Structure 1
């Protein structure tokens, strides 16, 4: 059925803690990894700038490829629960080289987004003290690195501790969202909204969009704010009922995110409208963080809640982002696709040691170096994140179709959930990759330009190509080691 890795049974027992997570814990990890409050704060304004009141339907349309890929994850996990996820499944479907690139894209996305999350956590922590301190780059950078260090330590100490922290932090996020939306609805109902806008069914009609290009851009933005739910699949070997619970958690998490994003977008538009003045969501000055710009008008003396919510969201996602990458590299090492040290597991805490620490150190170095070089360079690297996500999500969808190709006709269920939906999701992710890459080619897309090409494109594509080089080096050195071991074995076996 597949090629590239040995049978699953030969690589069981990586040393991770078994049965630590239940369904509720997996869902909380999946939601926290997506950072719902921060994702909305940072992205919703730009979606509304693109399509105005059609923002809710853009969020709905973007959900479908995510849902289809979630089914691919569920089916592959049910067949082969392995913390390597995309790496493992793509390797079994297409061979170790393709799988390695999937693992590399996952690692890249984790490193890049950690730099962003650390920066946001640092900014919002100091905004609580003094809004001006949030613009102090050295202070924010040092604080961001401290956040990464703290969350690396938490992950090192065990998945049970991590899950308990995430359950608390996701509750805090949703309580803050409930307060924000509750106050906003109250002010709308009492006539205190900035620009009361009547909710209409047209907001949910994709055919009411005036500009297809703008709608496509909004869907692409919406697509990537769902990213992160797959973390619960990376913890499958540490979850009770590893073949079923992580897949269910992924589907439930993605549906909760859909309801959250669409619901909040409707309330925000109804409160502030899409005008270009003041708090209007057509005002570009508000796009960077709709919660922060609206916090005083909505929450009054409780405006600090919006700042805390984004801070908690970024901090919790900092922790959960380390989890899948550390386990992905652990699995790659267990399958001899990385040096053996990546497979080390703590004897007491039962967590990946080298992989976890290396993830924290790499993300910190990446963040500090890019900040020192240029904040524009850091911003463009973060903007390239969508390429990595679309790449490994799409690869997982294609892997499902090919891995299960011989069983697709055995039942309608298999055909739909292992074939049709994953294929549709993979094709949509491929389209998202190509459309995003085409947009990033434009020098005006980001903040940097090299030789007339957008820096965001060069950073994203260059990082993926770097993976090809690293993979080639690793497998070339592995062949040399195998040849040397064979020569030594032959020499020692020869008669004297």
Structure 2
């Protein structure tokens, strides 16, 4: 460990520059510092928890439940538990690293400290895919729920020409464009204001799902739970693989490491608490849903929860309420994921791997203003005009790759820096992170070849950018070069 009066080393310099690692002490010493200003530490543990819940709880329960129930049958709630346990292994690793390295880059920064610059770049590039494309995909889903809400309230819908992109029967997806731009306006107000707005939206969607459970409970029929697994135990595993992606986003709190008031203690708590709350809600909603409607009737039902509300009460009003809750729920996912994307690019920019504009901090609001505008405009255009298709599925493989690296980073850091102060430690080390890595690798292997093809194309593009831009402008590399060129005789 370093003495208090000793400056952190500039770099740990191997012969190969692609393997140069950024010392943990340097990562922490640079925390919060941007171009022309610093990020403000203003987020509490609950606000961090709400950021993770906001990024996770959304389309998964409102859409994927209807797709997974015909596969797993009444045991779909067990599939949610299995998927949650799979996510738990990676969440534990995230919690340990977030408490040890409380910075904005999430798994990108963890990889930089343990596996070197090239692996860190690949991880960061995966996160750009995960966050950027998923924002656009979720924004498109928001437009669909908005149409459902408008139809229920006033009997009109947005014409397809203005609610679908080119190539899908429209000219522009106006709702998707609007929701991203609205989130941009709120994000520019500052981290503290953004956290308050996000907390309100998260509260609305939690209340909506609890309301569904209360009303759906009145329609439960015991016979709907038998047989528990009509399609076999393997069907539960298949559904769990599908439902795992409903948990993507729990790591969002780790992107706020430089804006947390007490990051070493609050980040691990926020990550674990958000996963616990989301898993509990998922299982409760699934249990009520399959009890209130036979599992066979979920086939081909996009808005299963709304249909159950209407069936139980006999009134369309409650399905409108649920649609309104879904609009807020999905908007909060867009909001929280955009926040995470800007903070990851902030960390990569500070390291010189992407242009310095992404690390420029506004003195008044304490936010990376230019970064936020660029990211939001890019995602808005992507959502409004580009048919995402299979590219959206590639976000899954990018996420799993990043999760796998986090599990590997925990093992590496434990052995290379055993003396480091850790406010949270993974239980049953090294079994837990190894299992986390294995689960991620297995789910990646199960993805279709077309997803791998898109992912491969994305990686090739990222490596071209790194070798022609990032590697040459790396702050770590320039520091090492300056040190090597210093005269030896004073």
Q: Is the pair's TM-score, using the shorter chain for normalization, greater than 0.5?
A: yes
Structure 1 contact 5–335 (Cα < 8 Å) conserved = no
Structure 2 residue aligned with 1:43: 64
**CA pair 261-414 structure 1, distance change in 2 beyond 3 A:** closer
Tell me whether 1:461 sits opposite 2:484 in the alignment: no
Structure with greater helix share of residues = 1
Give the equivalent residue in structure 1 for 2:341.
325
Q: 1:175 and 1:9, CA in 2 relative to 1: closer, same or farther beyond 3 A?
A: closer
* Equivalent-residue separation in structure 1 for 2:470 and 2:337 (angstroms): 27
The reply to whether residue 29 of structure 1 matches residue 51 of structure 2 is yes
Match of 2:89 among 36, 46, 68: 68
Q: Conserved in 1, the CA contact under 8 Å of 2:105 and 2:348?
A: yes
Change in Cα spacing, 1:309 to 1:215, as seen in structure 2 (3 Å) is same
Q: 2:381 aligns with which of 365, 374, 378?
A: 365
1:381 aligned residue (372, 387, 391) = 391
Q: Deviations over 1:438-462 (max 9, x none)?
A: xx22xxxxxxxxxxxx4x4432332
Give 5+ residue unaligned stretches, structure 2. 2-11, 13-19, 165-172
Alignment of 1:197 onto 2:226: no
1:50-129 pair list within 5 angstroms: 50-129=71-150
For residue 474 of structure 1, report the CA deviation from its aligned partner: 1.7
Cα-to-partner distance string for 1:451-478 (whole Å, 9 max, x where unaligned): xxx4x44323322332222222223543
Assess, with a 3 A threshold, how the Cα gap between structure 1 residues 71 and 476 changes in structure 2: closer, same or farther: closer
Decide whether aligned partners of structure 1 residues 479 and 103 sit closer, same or farther in structure 2, where only a CA change above 3 A counts.
Answer: closer
C-alpha separation between the residues in 1 aligned to 2:472 and 2:258? 30
State the match for 1:267 in structure 2.
288
Aligned-pair RMSD on alpha carbons?
Answer: 3.0
Per-residue Cα deviation, 1:309-344 (whole angstroms, up to 9, x for no partner)? 111111111111111110011011112222211110
- CA separation of 1:105 and 1:479: change in aligned 2, threshold 3 A: closer
Distance of aligned partners of 1:210 and 1:77 in 2 relative to their CA distance in 1, 3 Å threshold: same
Do structure 1's residue 474 and structure 2's residue 488 form an aligned pair?
A: no
TM-superposed CA distance for 1:417, in Å, is 5.9
User: Kindly tell me: are residues 165 and 10 of structure 1, through their superposed partners in 2, closer, same or farther at Cα, counting changes over 3 Å?
Assistant: closer
Given that 1:45 and 1:290 are in contact with CA atoms closer than 8 Å, whether structure 2 keeps it comes out as yes
Equivalent residue for 1:180? 212
- In the alignment, is the contact (CA less than 8 A) between 2:105 and 2:344 conserved in 1? yes
1:11 aligns with 2:30: yes
Are 1:152 and 2:147 matched, yes or no? no
Alpha carbons of 1:39 and 1:135: their partners in 2 closer, same or farther (altered >3 Å)?
A: farther
Which region of structure 1 is more displaced relative to structure 2, 320-329 or 117-126? 117-126
Q: Match of 1:164?
A: 196
Choose which of 238, 243, 247 in structure 2 pairs with 1:222: 243
CA–CA distance in 1 between the matches of 2:336 and 2:264? Answer: 21
Paired with 2:463 and 2:247, the residues of 1 have a C-alpha distance of: 27
Asked whether the equivalents of residues 296 and 302 of structure 1 are also in contact (C-alpha less than 8 Å), the reply is yes
Q: Kindly tell me: are residues 44 and 337 of structure 1, through their superposed partners in 2, closer, same or farther at Cα, counting changes over 3 Å?
A: same
Deviation digits for residues 108-132 of structure 1, max 9, x if unmatched?
Answer: 1111111122112222223222266
Q: 1:139 to 1:28 in 2, by over 3 A?
A: same
Give the TM-score taking structure 1 as reference length.
Answer: 0.83
Secondary structure at the counterpart of residue 264 of structure 2: coil
TM-score by length of 2: 0.84
**Distance in 2 of aligned mates of 1:290 and 1:59:** 16
Give the paired residue count.
Answer: 447
Deviation for aligned residue 1:10 = 4.3
Equivalent pair of 1:16/1:238 in contact (CA under 8 Å): no
Distance 2:304 2:21 in 1: 47
Per the alignment, do residues 332 and 479 of structure 1 end up closer, same or farther by CA in structure 2, a change over 3 Å counting? closer
Distance 1:317 1:16, change over 3 A: farther
Distance (Å, rounded) in 1 between the aligned partners of 2:87 and 2:233:
23
Contact map agreement 2:216 2:308 (CA 8 A) in 1:
no
Q: Secondary structure at the match of 2:269?
A: helix
Kindly indicate whether residue 448 of structure 2 is the aligned counterpart of residue 424 of structure 1: no
- Alpha carbons 1:197, 1:269 under 8 Å: kept: no
Cα distance in structure 1, aligned partners of 2:303 and 2:161 = 19
Quick check: 1:180–1:298 contact (8 Å CA) kept in 2?
no
Other structure's SS at 1:345 match: coil
Determine if contact 2:224/2:295 at 8 Å carries over to the other structure: no
| SS of match in other structure, 2:263 | coil
Deviation at 1:137, TM superposition (A): 4.4
